[in-house]
Structure 1
Amino acid sequence: MMIQGIVVTDLMRTAVDCAFDLPACQSITIVDSAMRALVRPDRRDFTGSQQRWQEVRVRFLQAVEEQAGRKGAVRARAVARIASPFSESPGESVVRWQVEALGLPSAVLQQRVDIPSQGRHFFLDLAWPALRIAAEYDGRDKYAVTGTTWDEKVRQDLIQESSGWTFKRFTAEHLRDAARLCQDVLSMFPPAITANARRRRGLWD
């Protein structure tokens, strides 16, 4: 297509090309962003968001398979399988990629946690409900807003006290330090789980 006289690819084609051509830890941020733009998920309409995602996901997987003979196909398939429109920032996408690449249990994105005693509810970036583990990505801009740090503390305290969740927080420092990201992701899980984890083909390329 043409935009202001410049030839560009549409979102789906861009996502497919990136899945084939870029390392998985880089392409996942672009692919998730493209899926989010195509699906436009809404926390107030979870069922509708899931239905739209299933339709887009089928198209995306088909588009990847149509180029099965292309270089990078194994990587593209792996990225397509873990792509999600419910990842709300590049940081969340990278943390989730690391979890998947290590062969750890997949996270639930935007898990809702209700606090009946307070009449409130919150959403977790990445969650493992059965393990009561939550991972949150905190960008620097988030804390530039006055009061945000305190609000986050109150939120985390309420969730921990009412439901017994444990939290692990990730920042841009993790994105710049691959060893630290890997180590901190592994530290979230019990030894019995990490001992059985196996790196997933395609996601490390």
Structure 2
Amino acid sequence: MSHPLLPVNPDGFVLAKDVRASGRQGTLDTQRRHAGLVAVRRGVYVDRARSERATPLERHRDRAIAAGLQRRAPVFAGFTAAVLHGLPVVGGVPHEIFLLAGGTSGRRRNGVVEIARTGLETLTEVEGRAIVGVVDAVIDVAKRMPLLTALVMADAALQIPRYGVDRPRSTPEELRTAYETRLPFPSSRAVRAVIDRAVTDAETPIETLSRFRFEELGIPEPQRQVALALPRLGRVVHLDFAWPELGVWGEADGAVKYTADSNAARVVREEKLREDEIRAVTQWRCARWGWRDAWEGTPLRDILARAGVRTEGGRAHAIAPLRASRAG
């Protein structure tokens, strides 16, 4: 920390008002001149090293908290609420922060979008901060953000954990009811497009992205999370995607994931045994792809075509350009 003499709040921010109260304005001015501190918002500063290593999502969160510190009773909403709920983000991260307006009129000012209240919002608390519920956040993201960004969040919100350890954050019924209760409203068709595509069994953003690409490319719709018993290994595995009629299954990860304490050779060997056993049991061909393959679209199409899954009736669509890759 480059400013040990300055008061720092629990979020790691230096607030100008706290500095003035402590009589250390000169120290703050010096730190600002020598670039030890950078402004998140007017009167709210963070250490430069923290700012430089932050991801786009971390910067958004910092700007959100800073904006909240400048208001009496902020309620985070929209994309910002989704981030604070921990929903995954795919695509660009907006610079603007989203809050719930105090009344029925919204406005946009100084990097903050205040979303008009409908009176139907559900409010909750995350880490001591007031925030709209997951359903409200997803609906607003679907109104304002690209379809893929909203769909990834919706899938994560609806996901039913396989082993029932945790409850889903929401249900399809809750999401649809909230949507129908708000009708009519601007961009309702965009929200409906997300609701109609959202599922409860997508375990990772790459699975959502893959389904999104299947639709764009005209790939036949697969079965998802197909349970398969592997007698020799003594366990049941779940295949991300399967086209039984074509004799193909798909794995949307593309590479073995290693952890700091994993034995890479052992992990590779176990993955190879798993794939060999699936092939022995099903006689299906395996198609594997990674994030970049699905993101670009064309490589995913080619991987599936080589395995025997091709576009239906030539109805493949142009791959939609996206501004950025995973944000977090």
Does the pair score TM above 0.5?
Answer: yes
Deviation at 1:72, TM superposition (A): 3.4
For the aligned residues, what is the CA RMSD?
3.3
After superposition, the Cα gap between the structure-2 partners of 1:7 and 1:77, relative to the gap in structure 1 and judged at 3 Å, is: same
TM-score (norm 2): 0.49
Q: 2:293 aligns with which of 162, 174, 177?
A: 174
Q: 1:16 aligns with which of 121, 139, 142?
A: 139
**Is residue 25–residue 94 contact of structure 1 (8 Å, CA) maintained in 2?**
yes
**Is residue 128–residue 134 contact of structure 1 (8 Å, CA) maintained in 2?**
yes
Give deviations 1:88-140, integer Å, cap 9, x for gaps.
11111111111133343333221111234554321111222333322212276
Aligned counterparts of 1:72 and 1:151: Cα–Cα separation in 2 = 47
Aligned counterparts of 1:105 and 1:178: Cα–Cα separation in 2 = 15
> How many pairs were matched up?
190
Q: 1:42 aligns with which of 156, 162, 166?
A: 162
After superposition, the Cα gap between the structure-2 partners of 1:176 and 1:99, relative to the gap in structure 1 and judged at 3 Å, is: closer
Q: 1:148 aligns with which of 239, 250, 267?
A: 267
Deviation at 1:31, TM superposition (A): 0.9
Q: 2:280 aligns with which of 155, 161, 174?
A: 161
Q: 1:123 aligns with which of 215, 238, 246?
A: 238
Q: 1:92 aligns with which of 177, 200, 207?
A: 207
* Runs of 4+ displaced beyond 6 Å: none
Correspondence for 1:80: 195
Q: 3-state SS of the aligned residue for 2:245?
A: coil
After superposition, the Cα gap between the structure-2 partners of 1:17 and 1:160, relative to the gap in structure 1 and judged at 3 Å, is: same
Q: 3-state SS of the aligned residue for 1:86?
A: coil
TM-score (norm 1): 0.74
**Is residue 99–residue 185 contact of structure 1 (8 Å, CA) maintained in 2?**
no
Aligned counterparts of 2:282 and 2:154: Cα–Cα separation in 1 = 33
Query: Which structure dedicates a bigger proportion of its chain to helix?
Result: 1
**Is residue 219–residue 309 contact of structure 2 (8 Å, CA) maintained in 1?**
no
Give deviations 1:45-67, integer Å, cap 9, x for gaps.
9xxx9xx89x9212222323344
**Is residue 143–residue 149 contact of structure 1 (8 Å, CA) maintained in 2?**
no
After superposition, the Cα gap between the structure-2 partners of 1:183 and 1:141, relative to the gap in structure 1 and judged at 3 Å, is: closer
Deviates more, 1:131-140 or 1:9-18: 131-140
> What are the ranges of 5 or more consecutive residues in structure 1 without an aligned counterpart?
none
1:195 to 2:321 alignment: no
Correspondence for 2:252: 137
**Is residue 239–residue 251 contact of structure 2 (8 Å, CA) maintained in 1?**
yes
Identity among equivalent positions (%) equals 23
Correspondence for 1:61: 176
Deviation at 1:35, TM superposition (A): 0.8
**Is residue 98–residue 185 contact of structure 1 (8 Å, CA) maintained in 2?**
no
Deviation at 1:78, TM superposition (A): 2.2
